[in-house]
Amino acid sequence: MTPLTMAASYGRSDMARHLFNHNIDILEEEEMNALFFICIKNDLYDLALQMVGKKSTLALIRNKNNETGLHVLARKPFGLGKSW
């Protein structure tokens, strides 16, 4: 597990964003895809959106359960209503 993946997994949004911005060019496709779903799972929506801005195909990829990011987000009961 990379430091970026670990930061996202633990919901450390500031650190994850910092590491993402410094590692965007060296992330492998599989790591980027996994990181996208980790961000959604852990409510790091700003980073997930930033990732889609850098790589628009993330909006269409599917995880191991054949779900897109939108499917995962739709299952979250309070995903978009979380107070910051």
pLDDT confidence of residue 77: 78
- What's the predicted TM-score (pTM) here? 0.86
- For residues 44 and 66, what is the distance between their CA atoms, to the nearest angstrom? 21
Axis crossing angle, helix 45-54 with helix 13-23, rounded to the nearest 10: 10
Q: Judge contact between 61 and 33, C-beta under 8 A.
A: yes
Q: What is the per-residue pLDDT across 28-57, written as a single tens digit (0 to 9) for each?
A: 999 999 999 999 999 999 999 999 999 999
pLDDT confidence of residue 67: 96
Please indicate whether residue 10 or residue 24 has the higher confidence score (pLDDT).
10
